[in-house]
Amino acid sequence: MRRKLNWSPRLISILLGLALLAPLSAGAQQLPRSVTVAANPPGTVFYALASGIGKVVSEGASFQMVVQPYTGTSTFLPLLNTGEIDFGINNAVDMALTYRGPNFKIGGRNPFLHAPNTRLAMRGAPLIISMLVKKDSPFKSVHDIKGKRVTGEYPAQLAVWYNMYGALAAGGLTWSDVKVIPVPAVNDGVDALVQGRADATIMAVNAAKVREADAAVGVRHLSTDCSSEGDARLRKAVPGYYARLIKAGGALAMVADTCTIAYDIYLTTHKAAQDRVVSSALKAIWDNVEKLPPIHPTFREWTRERAVDPDVTMPYHPAAIQFYKERGLWSAKMDEAQKKLLALNP
The tens digit of pLDDT for each residue in 231-244 reads 999 999 998 899 99
Q: Is 288 exposed, middle or buried (0-12, 13-18, 19+ CB in 10 A)?
A: middle
Which candidate, 86, 201, 197, places its Cα nearest to that of 139? 201
**CATH number of the CATH domain containing 153:** 3.40.190.10
What is the rounded average pLDDT of the residues 304-322?
Answer: 97
- Boundary (domain end) residue, out of 263, 282, 317: 263
What is the C-alpha to C-alpha distance for residues 76 and 86, in angstroms, rounded to an integer? Answer: 11
What is the rounded average pLDDT of the residues 13-37?
Answer: 63
Contact 282, 291 (CB under 8 A): no
Does residue 5 register a pLDDT over 60? no
Whether residues 150 and 122 fall in one domain? no
- Boundary (domain end) residue, out of 247, 263, 279: 263
Contact 118, 267 (CB under 8 A): no
Which candidate, 94, 23, 87, 95, places its Cα nearest to that of 61? 87
* pLDDT tens digit sequence for 66-102: 999 999 888 999 999 999 999 999 999 999 999 999 9
Does residue 149 register a pLDDT over 90? yes
What's the pLDDT band for 193 if we cut at 50, 70, 90? very high
Range of the domain at 315: 33-126+265-343
Does residue 342 register a pLDDT over 80? yes
Q: Is 21 exposed, middle or buried (0-12, 13-18, 19+ CB in 10 A)?
A: exposed
What is the C-alpha to C-alpha distance for residues 87 and 119, in angstroms, rounded to an integer? Answer: 9
CA quadruple 232, 182, 89, 291: dihedral sign: negative
- Boundary (domain end) residue, out of 213, 233, 263: 263
Which candidate, 19, 53, 56, places its Cα nearest to that of 37? 53
What is the C-alpha to C-alpha distance for residues 344 and 346, in angstroms, rounded to an integer? Answer: 6
What is the C-alpha to C-alpha distance for residues 137 and 152, in angstroms, rounded to an integer? Answer: 19
